[in-house]
């Protein structure tokens, strides 16, 4: 990271609070000044004494502390920092933030602060997926609150697994680093809106079965983070994935191709649209409302398929509100460049990013990628690199392309 920063860490009441001890230690190692506010519930999991020993600072716990409030302490804490982090953020803390509550020191600070707030949720998967929590999270995102996570995995409760784990400390450190670097580096996409689609779509056959593919969403997630790092306002429209939401971007969760198209259209206008999602080409025309059972003859059911909306084509060929740069992905298993060139022409996209996703490549679900960039100028074949590096290179090229369009318009 760059120079030392003042970080206010609000520790919520969850078993994952123990991770905050390591987070504090690592932030201090980087030279940052860390002050901590603990909720009443947080003190049931880690002690203020342990936190104070690591921060070398007093730990704040009480909204009605006479000494602090003589100088309106909660306002001072809210303003005297460069970043406020809430971790672990429980379902209750998120709900109270969304409702604008200020009935303890933590929520009073979160309501009074004029600084950026980064929230790292941690809770039972059923609590995270509950419609009430989803509404609260979406409200906070609309209010400008940034989220990192939750991660997916085993929970403290026996037999429980799913989205709800606090992200690991290195991921938190990366999110903090990205936040502080955003104000000091050149941001060629500042003021630009970028829409990115990611992951697979799930097209229902019946309530328990669906048509899908092996897309992990990793490349789309890396694209979103790369665009945000260059200063863009990013909307990530993601199909069902098991990776954590990237920090600093607006995430819209969808399931089907139809929902993905609707979400993209709702997010317009945009300067750049990158369609990295592996959208199912077909859906079952009439999904069963109940689980399909085997027949007495054991004959397989006949599934009538219908073509899904072509999201790339629909946006690339818009007569009004078309993004200045539309980028599609072509995931192929043979004749990669032949099919990608046809796609570039037929869809009306500006660029196509093509790759070979045959099983032996390990690209589907892996961390590395080998792509070809097709534009009106020809084909560029890039060497194998990480998906993060692929994303950074694509987004940097996109930023330069927008700059060239702006220069051309000014001439």
Q: What is the pLDDT of residues 365-386, one digit of tens each?
A: 788 899 999 999 999 999 999 9
Of the candidates 325, 375, 402, which has an alpha carbon nearest to the alpha carbon of residue 410? Answer: 402
| Residues 171, 277 within the same domain | no
Task: Name residue, tokens 């009073």.
Answer: 108
83-89 average pLDDT score: 94
38 found inside a domain: yes
Taking the C-alpha atoms of 145, 274, 326 and 396 in order, what is their torsion angle to the nearest 10 degrees?
80
- Helix (H/G/I), strand (E/B), else coil: 11: strand
Task: Name residue, tokens 């043979």.
Answer: 334
Distance CA 92, CA 88 (A): 11
* Percent of the chain's residues with pLDDT above 90: 61
Of the candidates 332, 327, 315, which has an alpha carbon nearest to the alpha carbon of residue 353? Answer: 327
Q: Which two tokens stand for residue 388?
A: 């993060």
**Tens digit of each residue's pLDDT (9 = 90 or more) over 102-137:** 989 999 999 988 888 999 999 998 899 899 998 998
191-197 average pLDDT score: 92
Global pTM value: 0.60
Catalytic status, residue 213: yes
Q: Is the model more confident about 145 or about 400?
A: 400
Query: What DSSP element (H or E) covers 203?
Result: strand 203-206
pLDDT of residue 70: 47
Q: Which of 130, 178, 213, 369 is the catalytic position?
A: 213
Residue 197's pLDDT band (boundaries 50, 70, 90)? very high
Domain boundary among 159, 181, 203: 181
| Residues 111, 197 within the same domain | no
| Residues 238, 375 within the same domain | yes
153 found inside a domain: yes
Residue 67: is its pLDDT beyond 60?
Answer: no
| Residues 156, 135 within the same domain | yes
Q: Is the model more confident about 313 or about 321?
A: 313
Q: Which class for 67: exposed (0-12), middle (13-18), buried (19 or more C-beta within 10 A)?
A: exposed
Q: Is the model more confident about 182 or about 164?
A: 164
Domain boundary among 127, 159, 181: 181
100 found inside a domain: yes
168 found inside a domain: yes
Residue 298's pLDDT band (boundaries 50, 70, 90)? confident
Residue 50: is its pLDDT beyond 90?
Answer: yes
309-336 average pLDDT score: 94
Residue 72: which region, alpha, beta or left (left: phi > 0; alpha: psi -120 to 50)? left
308 found inside a domain: yes
Q: Which two tokens stand for residue 177?
A: 């680093």
154 found inside a domain: yes
| Residues 347, 301 within the same domain | yes
- Helix (H/G/I), strand (E/B), else coil: 193: strand
Distance CA 32, CA 23 (A): 11
The H-assigned helical ranges of 130-186 are 131-142, 169-181
| Residues 17, 152 within the same domain | yes
R_g of the chain, CA atoms, integer Å: 23
Q: Which two tokens stand for residue 88?
A: 């672990």
256 found inside a domain: yes
Q: How does DSSP assign 291-339, residue by residue?
A: PPPPPTT-PPPP--EEEPP-HHHHHHT-SSS--SEEEEEEEESSSHHHH
| Residues 269, 243 within the same domain | yes
| Residues 93, 162 within the same domain | yes
- Helix (H/G/I), strand (E/B), else coil: 143: coil
* Percent of the chain's residues with pLDDT above 70: 95
342-349 average pLDDT score: 95
Residues shown for the chain: 411
Q: List phi, psi (to 5°) of 72.
A: 50, 65
Domain of 41? 6-181
Domain boundary among 148, 181, 214: 181
Residue 290: is its pLDDT beyond 70?
Answer: yes
| Residues 176, 243 within the same domain | no
pLDDT of residue 87: 93
pLDDT of residue 98: 94
Residue 58: is its pLDDT beyond 60?
Answer: yes
pLDDT of residue 186: 63
Distance CA 143, CA 165 (A): 24
Residue 209's pLDDT band (boundaries 50, 70, 90)? very high
CA 368 to chain centre: 19
| Residues 142, 232 within the same domain | no
The H-assigned helical ranges of 34-162 are 48-55, 66-69, 73-79, 91-98, 105-112, 125-129, 131-142
Q: How many C-beta atoms lie closer than 10 Å to residue 385's C-beta?
A: 15
187 found inside a domain: no
Residue 68: is its pLDDT beyond 60?
Answer: no
The CATH number of residue 50's host domain is 3.40.50.1950
Distance CA 291, CA 206 (A): 5
Domain count, the chain: 2
Residue 265: is its pLDDT beyond 90?
Answer: yes
| Residues 170, 227 within the same domain | no
The CATH number of residue 374's host domain is 3.40.50.10300
Q: Which two tokens stand for residue 148?
A: 């990192």
Residue 185: is its pLDDT beyond 60?
Answer: no
Residue 1: is its pLDDT beyond 50?
Answer: no
| Residues 118, 205 within the same domain | no
Q: Which two tokens stand for residue 173?
A: 């450190």
Strand partners, 85: 9, 118
Binding-site annotation: residue ranges: 281, 291, 309-312, 329, 343, 347
CB contact at 8 A, 155 and 125? yes
Binding-site annotation: residue ranges for CTP: 281, 291, 309-312, 329, 343, 347
Distance CA 170, CA 181 (A): 16
Residue 184's pLDDT band (boundaries 50, 70, 90)? very low
Residue 254: is its pLDDT beyond 90?
Answer: yes
Q: List phi, psi (to 5°) of 332.
A: -125, 165
């Amino acid at each position: 990271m760059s120079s030392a920063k003042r970080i206010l860490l609000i520790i919520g009441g969850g078993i994952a609070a123990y991770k905050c001890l390591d987070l504090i230690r690592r932030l201090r190692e980087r030279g940052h000044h860390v002050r901590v506010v603990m909720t009443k519930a947080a003190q049931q999991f880690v002690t203020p004494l342990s936190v104070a020993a690591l921060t070398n600072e007093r730990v704040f716990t009480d909204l009605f502390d006479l000494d602090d409030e003589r100088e309106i302490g909660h306002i001072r804490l809210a303003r005297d920092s460069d970043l406020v982090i809430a971790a672990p953020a429980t379902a209750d803390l998120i709900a109270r933030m969304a409702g604008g509550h200020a009935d303890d020191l933590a929520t009073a600070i979160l309501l009074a602060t004029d600084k950026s707030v980064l929230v790292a949720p941690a809770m039972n998967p059923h609590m995270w997926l509950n419609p009430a929590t989803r509404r609260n999270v979406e409200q906070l995102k609309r209010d400008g609150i940034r989220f990192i996570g939750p991660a997916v995995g085993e929970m403290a409760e026996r037999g429980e697994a799913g989205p709800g784990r606090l992200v690991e400390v290195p991921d938190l450190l990366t999110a903090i680093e990205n936040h502080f670097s955003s104000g000091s580096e050149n941001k060629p996409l500042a003021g630009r809106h970028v829409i990115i689609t990611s992951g697979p779509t799930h097209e229902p056959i019946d309530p328990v079965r669906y048509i899908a593919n092996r897309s992990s969403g990793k490349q789309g997630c890396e694209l979103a983070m790369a665009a945000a790092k260059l200063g863009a306002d990013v909307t990530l429209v993601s199909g069902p994935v098991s990776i954590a939401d990237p920090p600093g971007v607006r995430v819209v969760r969808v399931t089907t191709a139809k929902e993905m198209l609707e979400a993209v259209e709702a997010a317009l206008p945009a300067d750049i649209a990158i369609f990295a999602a592996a959208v199912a080409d077909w859906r079952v025309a009439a999904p069963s409302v109940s689980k399909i059972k085997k027949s007495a003859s054991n004959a397989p059911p006949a599934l009538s398929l219908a073509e899904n909306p072509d999201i790339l084509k629909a946006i690339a060929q818009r007569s009004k509100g078309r993004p200045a740069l539309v980028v599609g992905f072509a995931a192929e298993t043979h004749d990669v460049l032949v099919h990608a060139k046809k796609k570039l022409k037929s869809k009306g996209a500006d660029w196509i990013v093509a790759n070979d996703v045959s099983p032996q490549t390990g690209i589907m679900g892996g961390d590395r990628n080998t792509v070809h960039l097709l534009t009106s100028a020809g084909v560029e074949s890039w060497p194998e690199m990480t998906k993060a590096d692929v994303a950074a290179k694509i987004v940097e090229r996109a930023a330069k392309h927008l700059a060239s369009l702006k220069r051309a318009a000014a001439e």
